[in-house]
Amino acid sequence: MSLLKLQNGSDVRGIAVAGVPGEEVNLTPEAVSKIAYAFKAWLKNKFGKEELSLAIGRDSRISGETLVQAAIKGMKGQNTTIFNCEMASTPAMFMSTLDDEINADGAIMITASHLPFNRNGLKFFTKDGGADSKDIKAILDIAETQKPQYEDNGRVEKFDFISKYAEALVNKIKESTGEDKPFENCKIIVDAGNGAGGFFAEKVLQPLGADTEGSLYLNPDGNFPNHQPNPENQEAMDAICKGVLDSNADLGIIFDTDVDRAAVVDRNGKSINRNALIALMSAIVLKDYPNSTIVTDSVTSVGLKKFIESKGGKHHRFMRGYKNVINEAIRLNKEGTEAHLAIETSGHCALKENYFLDDGAYLVTKVLILFAELRKEGKDLEDLIGSLEEPVESIEVRGKINDQDFKAYGNQVLEDFRDYMNTVEGWSAETPNYEGVRVNCEKEEGWCLVRLSLHDPVMVINIESNLSDGCEKIEKKLFDFLSKYKALSFV
């Protein structure tokens, strides 16, 4: 199999463990060794240097340790120092490139985020940030075309980097609050979903005085026996909401497997994720950086736009894909538009002050600083976002495109939908719009977005409405149009 088939946008992903019917292992140790060897060659070419410092870490997946050793095999060499950070987070691995001790030229995180236990993958970092899709292709091209010349020399050193990373978060909270233990007499629980985020309870919250008893699934377990480690998963959010109520906690925190995403829960057991999390982070950022632009993905609500504008900000609704959102914020800044927050409804959140790194632990750190301030005033997080208008209904529908050239077929559907939309009374195109076709539906007091998946033969429909039957009405009009496309199948 061509290694190029392992590319998934700006990551490498594949099946690393056998046992799931119909899913054959393709991310083998041999493949990982070749890819890591290619990463090292790519770095040498990029920086024009022979001596390299490299770092590698992993999440809790059952294939993680094996693939770390495979990657180390590929990166070893006479002029190479490798820091094995063992259990770590994706954001921490980027920070290893900026660390004064490791000072890594490049770093690898072995993770497949929230995907099932049998999957795994690689994320790559330099001091410039995470690798883009073109970088991944370049690395895989090298892996395909260059025969590895493995060397069994160089220095490999274990480094407990997650503790150092956690200490920096603790110090930031102390400095921002002016207190050594701002969460004394406060219960804050963490749901790590058996991923890599359990460190946050022990190494961040407890040193700041928090009682973390009642936290859930902190122990790493790559079988993920309790629930999917994913703030977008309803079962996962139900677990942390229930945990907050059962333990009478003041705040709940949930991370995905590799801690680049997060969400929070208030003391009443109400989740703050998706639009509400974006509203919360927007309020925090606009307090520090008034009038700046907030960049989000394409499926954010009308109510969120109103909220951001009510706080003095500007809402720039862009495309799905966290790298797209981050890169758009970077582009805006380069062109003179001040944008300090890039955030996706999935929980990927990147701030300009933190290298535009999508870092769930840093997101939570910013929330905790605000939480400490509000506690002194006798207020809660909900008081800050209480004016956010949430839709009455919200649904997402996915349809498979059964056509060999799915992109051409999907784009034709979108083109036809633009024409159809203009014939429906009360429907009008949202402008500006950067992905698919987004329509304001006046009679149904809502909107719909029809878009193509970024990588898969899938047509995605998002609908929101402020009427109890609004989504159903919008959906019916949509399917009156879509039913004529025989290569589109909806479940």
Helix (H, G, I), strand (E, B) or coil at 81: strand
User: What are the strands, taking DSSP E only, across 374-472?
Assistant: 393-401, 427-429, 437-441, 446-452, 458-465
| pLDDT band at 62; cut points 50, 70, 90 | very high
Mean pLDDT of 315-320: 97
Using the structure block, give the residue that is written with the tokens 């057991």.
269
pLDDT band at 64 (very low <50, low <70, confident <90, very high): very high
| Residue 1, pLDDT score | 77
What is the predicted pLDDT for the residue at 120? 98
Distance CA 421, CA 488 (A): 19
pTM of the model: 0.95
Residues of the chain above pLDDT 70, percent: 100
> Binning pLDDT at 50, 70 and 90, where does residue 352 land?
very high
Instruction: Report pLDDT digits (tens) over 397-445.
Output: 999 999 999 999 999 999 999 999 999 999 999 999 999 999 999 999 9
Q: What is the pLDDT of residue 199?
A: 98
Tell me the HSE value of 51 on the side-chain side, using a 13 A CA sphere: 2
**Pairing assessment for the beta strands 393-401 and 458-465 based on DSSP bridges:** antiparallel
* For residues 120-144, average pLDDT: 96
Residue 486 confidence class, pLDDT cut points 50, 70, 90? very high
In percent, how much of the chain has pLDDT > 90? 98
- The rounded mean pLDDT for the chain is 96
| Distance from C-alpha of 379 to C-alpha of 358, rounded to nearest angstrom | 28
Given this model, what pLDDT does residue 455 score?
77
In the predicted structure, residue 308 carries a pLDDT above the cut 80: yes
* pLDDT above 80: residue 26: yes
Q: pLDDT tier at 473 (50, 70, 90 boundaries)?
A: very high
Question: What's the whole-number mean pLDDT along residues 34-47?
Answer: 97
pLDDT, tens digit, for every residue of 244-269? 999 999 999 999 999 999 999 999 99
- In this prediction, residue 40 carries a pLDDT of 98
* pLDDT above 90 for 454: no
What is the rounded distance in angstroms from the CA atom of residue 87 to the CA atom of residue 96? 13
Q: Residue 220: its pLDDT value, please?
A: 98
Could you please report the per-residue DSSP string of 126-192?
A: ETTEEPPHHHHHHHHHHHHHSPP-----SEEEE--HHHHHHHHHHHHHHHHHT-S-TTTT-BEEEE-
Strands 251-255 and 188-191 come out as: parallel
